[in-house]
């Protein structure tokens, strides 16, 4: 085995060949700037290289390529010991700013709710631990102010995050992630956040391919839909007709075996709002309508409608998907979901409601007078649409 790493690294780091060139040019008496121009590197790179990796034998600095490469390989070894694991004072400061107790004006501790750490990812609207809860960025940038003369009291925000989330980095207790604002037990990489599993969405079903008549709201039969989500993986489907604002709620009961049966890879979603359940619920709701009242559905980009092609084949209704992060493209549905939260608040279990109860809530919305209809109700306007044909005009919307 060679004592040093001779394979060329990525272009970010100096290679052994470049270090040989630096040693030869330095021996000729060339300046650091001239060496940098010759090998195509920054002068600061050459300066750091000569300062960090020069040999120190015989009491003077001599730059040798083999010694410099050995030093660079030694410094690049992983894993390095975590800074928080080695410095007790720094670790205590970081832990105190993350998990320190909250105090009232008189100095007494305000404990807050008793929220035990259970290790779940993204706790949903449950009790959260009350703590000082400084962010890693706040801690990192406050250290030079609190300890201006102590260079050991320095740490980057990323080092704090790694000590919390990466096993083996040490230093901080795993439970302290509950003191972060997100409360995530697992870190969410940016690449994963940007990645969307939307392979079922093709160019033909994006909102740009939707007919222009949908935007005008003059032709009935174009719907907007989405899910409202509750606790314990519960959901209710919502459908709103764009012209009449008529609302229909989809009952999505949990399938047999939820909470008891073992999970099956690529099996049906037992929670009730998987792609098969949503497809069947939409088909059962839209199929009884006249053909001129089931022209299209505009949906969010959720995977619950991944089987849209099967829905189109069985009902004839076309499905279109909004652009990413563009809920305003189905603004009627978003507004209706806000109205529905009066009956189904966030942070509640939506699986408790049966079909009859959902129908009652939908009837309540559909019988509210609307200004856009000249104070007629969506139910009255939709009834006109049902009895009108696709060839003889559309319902009056006021």
Strands 222-230 and 318-321: unpaired
pLDDT of residue 390: 45
pLDDT tens, position by position, 45-96: 999 999 888 887 666 778 888 888 888 888 777 767 788 888 899 999 999 9
Q: How do residues 223-270 score in pLDDT, each as one tens digit?
A: 999 999 988 889 999 999 999 999 999 999 988 777 677 766 666 677
- pLDDT beyond 70 at 167: no
Q: Please check the confidence at residue 41 and state whether its pLDDT lies above 70.
A: yes
6 found inside a domain: no
Q: Return d(Cα 342, Cα 53) in angstroms, integer.
A: 67
In a domain, 9, yes or no: no
Share of the chain above pLDDT 70, in %: 86
Could you tell me if 139 and 220 lie in one domain? no
Q: What is the pLDDT of residue 114?
A: 79
Give the model confidence (pLDDT) of 272-298 as tens digits: 888 899 999 999 999 999 999 999 999
* Single residue among 191, 213, 237 that ends a domain in this structure: 191
Are the beta carbons of 227 and 242 closer than 8 angstroms?
no
Q: Which residue has better confidence, 364 or 107?
A: 364
Q: What is the pLDDT of residue 115?
A: 76
The answer to whether the peptide bond before residue 79 is cis (omega within 30 degrees of 0) is: yes
Domain match, 220 and 363 both? yes
Residues 305 and 374 in one domain: yes
Q: Are residues 234 and 366 in the same domain?
A: yes
Nearest to 294 by CA among 277, 276, 312: 312
Of 75, 99, 119, which one is at a domain's C-terminal end? 75
By C-alpha distance, which of 305, 297, 238, 250 is closest to 275? 305
Threshold 0.85, pTM exceeds: no
pLDDT reported for residue 5 = 54
Q: Are residues 362 and 304 in the same domain?
A: yes
Cα separations (Å) of 308 from 133, 282, 320? Answer: 44, 10, 9
Distance of CA 159 to the CA centre of its chain: 22
Instruction: Provide the β-strand partners of residue 110.
Output: 102
319 closest CA partner among 385, 269, 275, 262: 275
| pLDDT for 2 beyond 60 | no
393 domain residue, yes or no: no
Number of H helices, E strands in the chain: 15, 7
Please state, as a whole number, how many other Cβ atoms lie within 10 Å of the Cβ of residue 324: 11
What percent of the chain is modeled with pLDDT above 90? 47
Q: Are residues 336 and 305 in the same domain?
A: yes
Task: Give phi and psi for 249, each to the nearest 5.
Answer: -105, 135
How many whole angstroms separate alpha carbon 112 and alpha carbon 60?
62
DSSP string, 116-168: -----SS--SS---------HHHHHHHHHHH-TT-TTS---HHHHHHHHHSTT
What is the Cα–Cα distance from 156 to 333, expressed in whole angstroms?
Answer: 44
Does residue 43 share a domain with residue 99? no
Residue ending a domain, choose from 131, 166, 191: 191
Among 92-106, 188-202, 260-274, name the most confident range: 92-106
Q: Is 395 left (phi over 0), alpha (psi -120 to 50) or beta?
A: beta
- Residue 391 has what pLDDT? 47
Say if residues 305 and 279 touch (Cβ distance below 8 Å). Answer: yes
Q: Classify residue 395: in a domain, yes or no.
A: no
Which residues lie across from 239 on neighbouring strands?
Answer: 225, 248
Q: Which domain holds residue 368?
A: 203-387
Q: Is residue 303 part of a domain?
A: yes
The strand order across the sheet containing 247-250 reads: 247-250, 234-241, 222-230, 296-299, 318-321
Looking at the predicted structure, is the pLDDT value of residue 191 above 50?
yes
Structure tokens at 272: 């009730």
Task: Answer yes or no: do 224 and 173 share one domain.
Answer: no
Banded model confidence at residue 156, pLDDT cuts 50, 70, 90:
very high
Whether the Cβ atoms of residue 286 and residue 315 lie closer than 8 Å to each other: yes
Is residue 233 in a domain?
yes
310 is a domain residue: yes
Mean pLDDT, rounded, of the chain:
85
pLDDT beyond 80 at 365: yes
Which pLDDT does position 77 carry in this prediction? 74
Is 52 found in the same domain as 130?
no
Distance CA 224, CA 320 (A): 9
Among left, alpha and beta (phi > 0; psi -120 to 50; other), residue 325 is left
Q: Is residue 247 located within the same domain as residue 223?
A: yes
First to last CA, the chain: 85
Give the tokens for residue 13. 């780091």
- Looking at the fold, whether 238 and 323 belong to one and the same domain comes out as yes
Instruction: Report the domain count for the chain.
Output: 3
Mean pLDDT of the region 123-143: 81
Q: For residues 229 and 344, state if they share a domain.
A: yes
Look at the block and give the residue holding tokens 């004072």: 89
CATH number of 286's domain = 3.30.420.10
| Inside any domain, residue 300 | yes
């Amino acid at each position: 085995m060679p004592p040093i790493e001779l394979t060329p690294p990525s272009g970010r780091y100096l290679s052994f060949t470049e270090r040989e060139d630096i040693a030869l040019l330095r021996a000729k008496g060339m300046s650091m700037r001239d060496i940098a121009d010759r090998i195509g590197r920054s002068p600061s790179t050459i300066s750091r290289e000569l300062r960090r990796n020069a040999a120190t034998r015989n009491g003077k600095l001599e730059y040798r390529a083999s010694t410099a490469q050995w030093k660079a390989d030694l410094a690049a070894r992983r894993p390095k010991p975590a800074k928080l694991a080695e410095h007790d004072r720094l670790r205590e400061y970081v832990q105190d700013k993350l998990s320190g107790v909250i105090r009232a004006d008189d100095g007494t501790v305000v404990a807050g709710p008793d929220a035990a750490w259970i290790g779940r990812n993204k706790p949903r609207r449950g009790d959260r631990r009350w703590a000082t809860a400084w962010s890693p960025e706040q801690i990192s940038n406050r250290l030079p102010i609190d300890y201006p003369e102590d260079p050991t009291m320095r740490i980057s925000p990323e080092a704090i995050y790694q000590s919390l989330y990466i096993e083996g980095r040490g230093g901080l207790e795993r439970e302290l992630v509950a003191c972060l604002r997100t409360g995530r037990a697992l870190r969410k990489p940016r690449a994963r956040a940007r990645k969307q599993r939307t392979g079922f969405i093709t160019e033909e079903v994006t909102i740009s391919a939707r007919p222009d008549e949908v935007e005008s709201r003059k032709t009935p039969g174009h719907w907007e839909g989405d899910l409202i989500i509750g606790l314990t993986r519960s959901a209710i489907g919502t459908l709103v007709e764009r012209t009449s604002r008529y609302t229909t709620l989809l009952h999505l009961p949990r399938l047999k075996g939820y909470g008891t049966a073992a999970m099956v890879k690529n099996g049906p979603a037992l929670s009730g709002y998987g792609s098969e359940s949503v497809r069947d619920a939409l088909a059962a709701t839209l199929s009884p309508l006249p053909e001129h009242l089931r022209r299209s559905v505009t949906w969010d980009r959720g995977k619950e409608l991944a089987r849209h092609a099967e829905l189109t084949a069985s009902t004839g209704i076309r499905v279109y998907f909004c652009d990413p992060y563009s809920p305003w493209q189905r603004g009627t549905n978003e507004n209706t979901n806000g109205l529905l939260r009066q009956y189904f608040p966030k942070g509640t279990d939506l699986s408790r409601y049966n079909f009859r109860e959902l129908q009652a809530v939908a009837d309540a919305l559909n019988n509210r007078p609307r200004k856009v209809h000249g104070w007629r109700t969506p139910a009255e306007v939709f009834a006109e649409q049902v009895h009108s044909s696709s060839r003889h005009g559309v319902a009056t919307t006021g």
